[in-house]
Amino acid sequence: MKITNEFEVKSPIDVVWDAFQDVPTVAECLPGASISEDKGGNVYAGAVEVKLGPMSSKFEGEAKISPDQPTRSGHIEGKGVDRSGGSRGQVDVDYRLADAGGSTRVFVDADIKLTGAIAQFGRTGLVEEISKRLIDEFVYCLHAKLAAETPQEAAEIKAGEVKGFSLFLAGLTSWIGKFFKRLFKRGGE
């Protein structure tokens, strides 16, 4: 599953770049993510917890981050196994920062490969919706952190409680919303 996303952060490119190098901070902005160990060499052990309706998955594994300072871009490779739920996940992310006149545009290309129970929700497109919601939440949190006036304030900002039923509902609402948009668009033609 390929997800392409683009968003703008209202901070200068160097500030955003530095924030991206602070892996624990980045993790704080990803709902359900946690870092358990810095293994050195830009390799981190940790977990990502996702709840999808009645299904809860905790992917435990490692991520390797390869930043490229001159081009303000980077590559993240992660993989995790959810043993109790019988799912596996693998993610390859390419990101790139671009100066946008005092703001920064961030381009993300993610290739997510899920296998097992979590990949079996097919037709409804819920997994795609939820991935997009996760990115929205990430951007929102990152904004807040970068806009914080003191480092202490920034440290207190974490990704919202997007776990559990709310995430499922958000995905569902967004999906239903699209359906109605399509419907009205058709009606209006």
Residues that bind other proteins (CB under 8 A): 83-88, 113-117, 119-124, 186
Query: What distances in angstroms separate CA 4 from CA 30, 94, 133, 183, one per listed residue?
Result: 17, 10, 13, 25
What the block records as the tokens of 124 is 């409804």
CA-based nearest residue to 95, from 82, 104, 86:
104
C-beta of 84 vs 150, nearer to other proteins: 84
Output the smallest distance, CB 118 to other proteins, in A. 9
Angle at 161 between CA 63 and CA 113, to 5 degrees: 35
Output the smallest distance, CB 83 to other proteins, in A. 5
C-beta of 21 vs 36, nearer to other proteins: 36
Identity at 107, one-letter amino acid code:
F
Distance CA 148, CA 80 (A): 32
Exposed (0-12), middle (13-18) or buried (19+): which is 92, by Cβ within 10 Å?
A: middle
Output the smallest distance, CB 81 to other proteins, in A. 8
Phi and psi based region of residue 26 (left: phi greater than 0; alpha: psi -120 to 50; beta: remaining): alpha
Output the smallest distance, CB 168 to other proteins, in A. 12
Distance CA 170, CA 51 (A): 12
C-beta of 119 vs 139, nearer to other proteins: 119
Output the smallest distance, CB 123 to other proteins, in A. 5
C-beta of 63 vs 114, nearer to other proteins: 114
C-beta of 25 vs 131, nearer to other proteins: 131
